[in-house]
Chains A and B, each alone.
Chain A
Amino acid sequence: MDTQTDTQKDFGPADDHGDDFIRLDGVEKVFDVRKKTGFMRSERRQVRAVDSISFAVARGEMVGYIGPNGAGKSTTIKMLTGILTPSGGRLRVAGIDPSRERTRLAHRIGVVFGQRTTLWWDLPLIDSYRLMHRMYRIPDARYAENLDRCVELLELAELLDVPVRQLSLGQRMRGDIAAALLHDPEVLYLDEPTIGLDVISKAKVREFLRHLNAEQGTTVLLTTHDLTDIEQLCRRVMVIDHGRLMYDGPLTGLHEIGESERTLVVDLERELPPIEVESARVVKVEGPRQWLAFPAAQSAAPLVARIAAAYPLVDLSVREPDIEAVISRMYAEKATS
């Protein structure tokens, strides 16, 4: 726990009060869950969906927010939009208390829920955009400009006159992202924006988000199950589980926290018994090819030198740890401790 608090201080801009765009201090959300235990009898139980979370996001940052199902990600996003009131703690977005001034905040944020749509199901896509134009009172010139940009970058030109119900999931998602951006929000919350998309659609969405963050300077907070999203988009990642923030820092730091291992794959001249070498162990043997695991923090060079000195080495490659494995190990550790 100590190490985690430390990393939070080192990497998060938590100390930089002036520039925080989003700021949470000890935010909690407790739900009363009623469970029927019999006729006319129910048991009340409190569920801590978010348990004293603190973090800050600076303007222009792109942050990944990850965790397993039910970890509290969506609850956090809902508090950040103002549709859920925190049970405790302090929360500010652009200096606004979201649940108190939801409507005022709404003009400054954009939200995309991957599993829901803000678009008008039975009408052509363009109708939903015209509605956004009115709803957010976007000046005409600004609306035209933003729409053009989104249409170009998200490749929507041919879809504008298609009823939303006829769009594929990937097309609909791009349509939803455009709808969230027409009013120039300063921050975009994305809740699972790539869920269910094929590889090409995912790549398009990621490319667009990268562009949005770099060119427009839009702050992006992204929850996802797909760690490739994070690897490709976010320098900073926050990991949440059971309502608690377990890690806040750069993606690379996760490996150290998770005590992850890298894998050295060596091809020998012929089939040999498992290699015996200091600070690495063989995890798999397949003919002349052997897989050795060694701590991620350790350099591969001396290890390779030692093996080359003692064994007939033909070829080798180093594999970086699987981030997914790192995180699942983190969760497992947390659950047992």
Chain B
Amino acid sequence: MGTWRLYTAVAAGAFRRYATYRVATAAGVFTNTVFGLILAYTYIALWDERPGLGGYDQSQAVTYVWLGQGLLAAVAVMGGGFEDELIERIRTGDIAIDLYRPADLQMWWLAADVGRSAFQLLGRGVVPMAFGGLVFHLALPADAGTWLAFLVAVVLGLLVSFAIRYLVALLAFWFMDGAGVQQLAVLAGLFFSGMTLPLNVFPGALGELARALPWSALLQAPADVLLGERTGFALWRTYAFQAAWAVGLLAVGRMVQSAATRRVVVQGG
């Protein structure tokens, strides 16, 4: 029970912390909206040429765009999550403070990232989505059940997103400058999450690969749930896919964490 209260406090603190960055949030909302517009018109042009591309009709494709912009900050595909701070703490040695605390490193940062993404889902997600809904005709579900199913997929996606970024951040224990690896991860994330184009549209082996990688749990999976492409058994398969990556990557994160702390503890770092 006590543990939960601690991590709840950490998550609540992170939420409030991001809530204090009002200018950054407003700027982010503006950027997401502008990008949403650019992408939406690009997609409209594309779907005019190739109706039904990737199994989406045009309004589904436009919905996908605004959903992507709404989730962009929360799943932190382009960075801006806890990992910048963790890498900085590893680099400066402030990580020593985190290590002597009676708290688990992974749980601590997970809680912090949950708080952050909860804020960004509300602060950065709702406005662009509403704006998109006003300007375009979006294919949004009418029933509460689909929205609920979508939220579950978003939460699972956030877990996978955290697990990936945690691994990337821990690499800073070995590479003193984590920036290179982080940039690589951002590039991979932007493409393989489906942030540039839905993964459904990619044919052949590349498409198969892209849909099997963990990043597809971040945006593609929740989008398919919201667009009504995943119901019944397919919905459970999507959840299972996301959950498997989440559990697997979190477990790997734990192993890397214990190797990293052993290294620091023995080596001094």
| A residues neighboring B (CB under 8 Å) | 29, 31-32, 49, 75, 78, 81-85, 99, 102-103, 106-107, 109, 111, 113, 116-118, 120, 122-123, 127, 130-131, 134-137, 163
Cβ of A131 and Cβ of B96 under 8 Å apart? Answer: no
Residues on A with C-beta less than 8 A from B16 are 123, 127
Q: Kindly identify which residue among B10, B92, B100 contacts A111, using a CB–CB cutoff of 8 Å.
A: B100
Residues on B with C-beta less than 8 A from A130 are 9
The answer for the CA separation of A116 and B267 in the assembled complex, in Å, is: 20
B13 at the interface (CB under 8 A from A): yes
Q: Is the interface of A mostly helix, strand, loop or mixed?
A: mixed
Question: CB-defined interface of B5-21 with A at 8 Å, one 1/0 digit per residue?
Answer: 11011100100110011
The answer for the CA separation of A123 and B20 in the assembled complex, in Å, is: 8
Cβ of A137 and Cβ of B2 under 8 Å apart? Answer: yes
Q: Kindly identify which residue among B6, B10, B94, B96 contacts A78, using a CB–CB cutoff of 8 Å.
A: B96
Cβ of A83 and Cβ of B265 under 8 Å apart? Answer: yes
Cβ of B20 and Cβ of A136 under 8 Å apart? Answer: no
Cβ of A85 and Cβ of B100 under 8 Å apart? Answer: no
Cβ of B267 and Cβ of A127 under 8 Å apart? Answer: no
B97 at the interface (CB under 8 A from A): yes
Residues on B with C-beta less than 8 A from A78 are 96, 268
With CB as the reference atom, state the residue of chain B lying closest to A32.
Answer: B267
The answer for the CA separation of A85 and B263 in the assembled complex, in Å, is: 10
8 tightest A-B contacts by CB?
A106-B102, A134-B6, A81-B100, A134-B9, A83-B99, A137-B2, A122-B17, A103-B102
Residues on B with C-beta less than 8 A from A31 are 267-268
- Minimum Cβ distance to chain A for residue B36 (Å): 28
The answer for the CA separation of A136 and B96 in the assembled complex, in Å, is: 17
Cβ of A123 and Cβ of B264 under 8 Å apart? Answer: no
Cβ of B2 and Cβ of A113 under 8 Å apart? Answer: no
Knowing A75-B268, A84-B268, A134-B9, the reply to whether A107 touches B102 (Cβ < 8 A) is yes
Q: Mind listing 7 A-B residue pairs with CB under 8 Å?
A: A83-B100, A83-B265, A84-B264, A111-B100, A120-B13, A134-B5, A163-B20
With CB as the reference atom, state the residue of chain A lying closest to B4.
Answer: A134
Residues on B with C-beta less than 8 A from A84 are 264-266, 268
- Number of B interface residues in the complex (CB < 8 A): 26
| B residues neighboring A (CB under 8 Å) | 2, 5-6, 8-10, 13, 16-17, 20-21, 92-94, 96-97, 99-103, 264-268
Residues on A with C-beta less than 8 A from B92 are 116
Q: Kindly identify which residue among A32, A102, A120, A134 contacts B100, using a CB–CB cutoff of 8 Å.
A: A102
Known contacts A78-B96, A131-B13, then 14 further A-B pairs from the complex at CB < 8 Å, ordered by chain A residue: A49-B268, A81-B100, A82-B100, A83-B265, A84-B264, A103-B102, A116-B92, A116-B94, A118-B97, A120-B17, A122-B20, A130-B9, A134-B2, A134-B6
Cβ of B94 and Cβ of A123 under 8 Å apart? Answer: no
Residues on A with C-beta less than 8 A from B20 are 122-123, 163
- Minimum Cβ distance to chain A for residue B201 (Å): 40
Cβ of A106 and Cβ of B100 under 8 Å apart? Answer: yes
Cβ of A113 and Cβ of B102 under 8 Å apart? Answer: no
Q: Kindly identify which residue among A75, A82, A135 contacts B6, using a CB–CB cutoff of 8 Å.
A: A135
With CB as the reference atom, state the residue of chain A lying closest to B268.
Answer: A31
The answer for the CA separation of A250 and B92 in the assembled complex, in Å, is: 35
Cβ of A113 and Cβ of B96 under 8 Å apart? Answer: yes
- Minimum Cβ distance to chain A for residue B11 (Å): 11
